[in-house]
Amino acid sequence: MKQIIERIKTHALLNFGKQIESCTEKEKYVALSKAIMEEVVLDWEDSKNKFEGKKKAYYLSAEFLMGRALSNNLINLNEKEKVEDILSEIGLSYNDIEEAEEDAGLGNGGLGRLAACFLDSAATLDYSLTGYGIRYEFGIFKQKFINGFQVEEADNWLEYGDPWSIRKNSEKIVVSFSDQDVVAVPYDTPIIGYGKNTINTLRLWKSEPINVFDFEKFNDQKYDLSVKEKNNAENISKVLYPNDSNEEGKILRLKQQYFFVSASLQDMIRKFKVNNTDFKKFPDFHAIQLNDTHPAVAIPEMMRLLTEFEGIRWEDAWEITVNTFAYTNHTLLAEALEQWPVKLYKKLLPDVYKIIVKINTQLKSDLKKKKIDKKDFGKFEIISDKNIKMAFLSIYGSFSTNGVAQLHTDLLIHSELKDWYDLYPERFNNKTNGITQRRWLLQSNPELSEYITELLGSDSWITSLEKLKELEKFSDDTKVLTKFMEIKQEKKDQLAKYIKEHEGIDVDPSSIFDIQIKRLHEYKRQILNALYILDLYFRLKEDKNLDIVPRTFIFGAKAAPGYFRAKGIIKFINDIKELINNDEEIDGKIKIVFVENYRVSYAEKLFPAADISQQISTAGKEASGTGNMKFMLNGAPTIGTFDGANVEIVEEAGEENNFIFGLRVEDIEEIEDSYNPNTEYNKIKGLKRALDTLVDGTFDDGETGMYKELYDSILKGASWHKSDVYYVMKDFDSYRDAQQKVNDEFKNKLGWAKKCWINMANAGKFSSDRTIEQYSKEIWKIEKNK
């Protein structure tokens, strides 16, 4: 214990020139984290060595939404209580230090959080899984609200450095574009499995210049030009998902994708060649998973590296490539199936483009061999209409394509990618997403975790979440349910206090905490929730005695900087918040909170406190969702559509314990050609009044035109889509009925507690441990270290 104290004090002096007592909380966090890293590094090295010579998996992802590292690492090391005691001994507050840690700015949405959960599960289960991505200097952005508008500020998460990563200068790699060469510098972060048996690696690449500084230009007093190469190189890893509304932004995004993919593949090949000369064995040691299409350029880049640098015949290189790569599809949205203009690839990556052309030519030859009619080639071609279709490239160049929920996979097979499934049925499979219970229950809800362990008589659920099923026997036990709801109330009290401190809003902890937290996108239908709230407000204004349980509606979401309509929805919700929260006539029966700068650390407080989980996407549009699983695990029923993993949640916990509403996929298919939202708009009581607030002067969009554009998008459509493309009007009445059912059933305290309990007890399927076991055995074919 004394040794750790001395390390903390030493790091405070080394890094900040201060005694630990004089350091800021952020500085204390850095000193503590570096002290812990000293204990980790030797085990980390041992862990790498034990997998030497075995097949390993590699996860290529544009984002890794890791959240805070300190508590997660200490929990997995089984040392959190010990460290809390150590800090207390020298007069330091662990909670204050924990709160000082910035969320790592390496991800934005569910795709990035899934990647983080997968890394945690693989290490915990003793599988070798290395993550590869970009070390973004700034995250996507810090969100501020000014007059209800989203304003983006730089997310300088690395202001105090990153004590959990190690820069590996000796393993730099050069990545070449047509207009510049850059150096990819790896930063390695340990991914500590629960119990510390395995510590895997997240390797993130930072882009730096070949020549840091042009002294001659500086001497000629051309100061800007003297650092131009440095600035251009560093821009590549500067910001997660830069705005790509113009060509310059698109070029930067393409550079990001190629940069981390090329560096990662070169890294793997370099390490492979240390002990191997026969590249036909490369798939025997590597399984590379493409997390969506952002890293799809890996397929032609692998072909380029093998044929041009390793001298391998095209046919052999193709066999190696296909047997190495696997692809995860994360979307059914046509606009989200990534395509790149041919002209950008020709301009930036001409050698890679030539490889893609050759792959496309080979594909047509394969189609001919499979007796596909030539007139149907267009259904498969990777290069089409002056665009490169990255999903098609990913399917053709890999041995496995998986969806992320059973409904999603079924729709891929029978609808969106049916032609490809008919061509390669053996390549398609489902891997329903999951979440790690170590972060989303053990860390974020220690009170419930402790009670679960007490009831089960063991903490084995921490690595075997299916054990929760044994809790179902308590579903009619009044004493257990009462204790369970006391814990829920404790988490609600904590959240209410946090909201007051950070948002300045007083909320009633005894009200229904109705929470919708996710990326802001039209298909996720935050606007359906907003229209319902407005309708409820107007009904309450008309009838002060309306029988409603007080409700707190909580939103958390960021809109992409260039997504005008999504920003309009944020402004609309914030305007509704101001209207309702400042109306004393309704006596606080409704409150709205839009949490600013929603992120993992905030989410850890929101999920455990939720009474109801909003999962209201248009049926067939949400591939899976993982927020729904986090709510379920913490004992919140779902109000949602029959979409994504909601379908499997209902299968596990029963539709009677959730609140399913709205059109299903087959219903939408039946009406999509004839649907006119104006029918519902004029017919459904209260709907017109709520929607018209966008244009009748109730709210002011600051002359941006965003409210009229949002209104027209629903009733008239736009040049690129039909009216009400996400069926907000059609599902409104059904949604309102489901919300009324929530209101009515919440009044029965024990009945509600039972719903919550059964959801929690049946969440075992949705552990990322289960998902990783399936990937490892069924796709990657890797084994645990024994």
DSSP 584-596: GGGTTSEEEEEET
pLDDT at 196: 83
| Per-residue model confidence as pLDDT tens digits over 505-516 | 999 999 999 999
pLDDT at 219: 83
Phi, psi angles (nearest 5°) of residue 131? -90, 140
Model confidence at 3: pLDDT above 70: yes
Q: Please count the CA atoms within 13 angstroms of the CA of 352 that sit on its side-chain side.
A: 29
Residue 786 pLDDT level (bands cut at 50, 70, 90):
low
Residue closest to 554 by CA, chosen among 491, 501, 611:
611
Provide the β-strand partners of residue 205: 134, 186
- Asked whether the beta carbons of 613 and 633 are under 8 A apart, the reply is no
Catalytic annotation, pick one of 56, 524, 571, 599 = 524
Distance CA 37, CA 24 (A): 20
Residue 573 pLDDT level (bands cut at 50, 70, 90):
very high
Give the tokens for residue 255.
Answer: 């550079």
- Asked whether the beta carbons of 448 and 635 are under 8 A apart, the reply is yes
pLDDT at 222: 82
Q: Of residues 518 and 222, which shows the higher confidence score?
A: 518
Catalytic annotation, pick one of 56, 68, 408, 519 = 519
Distance CA 455, CA 41 (A): 36
| Per-residue model confidence as pLDDT tens digits over 89-111 | 999 999 999 999 999 999 988 99
Model confidence at 361: pLDDT above 80: yes
| Per-residue model confidence as pLDDT tens digits over 253-285 | 999 999 999 999 999 999 999 999 999 999 999
Question: Within a 10 A sphere around the Cβ of 586, how many other Cβ atoms?
Answer: 18
Return the SS3 of 44.
Answer: helix
- Tokens 């990153």 locate to 162
Return the SS3 of 367.
Answer: helix
Give the tokens for residue 346.
Answer: 């020709």
Give the tokens for residue 777.
Answer: 């055995």
- Asked whether the beta carbons of 638 and 615 are under 8 A apart, the reply is yes
Residue closest to 200 by CA, chosen among 780, 765, 767, 785:
785
Chain mean position to CA 582: 34
pLDDT at 785: 84
Mean pLDDT of 112-140: 97
pLDDT at 2: 66
| Per-residue model confidence as pLDDT tens digits over 297-314 | 999 999 999 999 999 999
Phi, psi angles (nearest 5°) of residue 129? -135, 115
Distance CA 121, CA 772 (A): 7
Any catalytic annotation for residue 436?
no
Distance CA 387, CA 391 (A): 12
Helix (H) or strand (E) holding 494: helix 478-503
Residue closest to 62 by CA, chosen among 135, 167, 153:
135
Give me the helix-helix angle, 706-715 and 564-581, nearest 10°: 100
Any catalytic annotation for residue 689?
no
Give the tokens for residue 729.
Answer: 């009007």
Domains in the chain, start-ordered, CATH in brackets? 2-338+390-433 (3.40.50.2000), 437-772 (3.40.50.2000)
Model confidence at 420: pLDDT above 80: yes
Residue 1 pLDDT level (bands cut at 50, 70, 90):
low
Catalytic annotation, pick one of 56, 605, 630, 754 = 630
Any catalytic annotation for residue 754?
no
Residue closest to 171 by CA, chosen among 190, 149, 195, 187:
187
What average pLDDT is seen over the chain? 96
Helix (H) or strand (E) holding 275: helix 247-275
pLDDT at 335: 67
Any catalytic annotation for residue 567?
no
Any catalytic annotation for residue 80?
no
Q: Enter the pTM of the model.
A: 0.96
- Asked whether the beta carbons of 218 and 226 are under 8 A apart, the reply is yes
pLDDT at 449: 98
Distance CA 138, CA 155 (A): 5
Any catalytic annotation for residue 747?
no
Q: What string of H, E and C letters represents the secondary structure of 638-702?
A: EEECCCCCHHHHHHHHCHHHCEECCCCHHHHHHHCCCCCHHHHHHHCCCHHHHHHCCCCCCCCCC
Catalytic annotation, pick one of 196, 294, 488, 518 = 518
Name the percent of the chain lying above pLDDT 70.
99
Residue 578 pLDDT level (bands cut at 50, 70, 90):
very high
How long, in residues, is the chain?
A: 786
Question: Within a 10 A sphere around the Cβ of 458, how many other Cβ atoms?
Answer: 13
Q: Please count the CA atoms within 13 angstroms of the CA of 50 that sit on its side-chain side.
A: 18
Catalytic annotation, pick one of 203, 238, 330, 589 = 330
pLDDT at 533: 98
- Asked whether the beta carbons of 300 and 394 are under 8 A apart, the reply is no
Distance CA 440, CA 442 (A): 6
DSSP string, 688-751: HHHHHTTTSSSS--TT-SHHHHHHHHHHT-BTTB-TTTT-HHHHHHHHHHHHHHHHHHHTSHHH
Provide the β-strand partners of residue 56: 286
Catalytic annotation, pick one of 328, 331, 626, 641 = 626
Model confidence at 215: pLDDT above 80: no
Distance CA 644, CA 641 (A): 9
Helix (H) or strand (E) holding 615: strand 612-615
- Asked whether the beta carbons of 674 and 668 are under 8 A apart, the reply is no
- Asked whether the beta carbons of 530 and 736 are under 8 A apart, the reply is no
Return the SS3 of 509.
Answer: coil
Chain mean position to CA 642: 21
Return the SS3 of 384.
Answer: strand
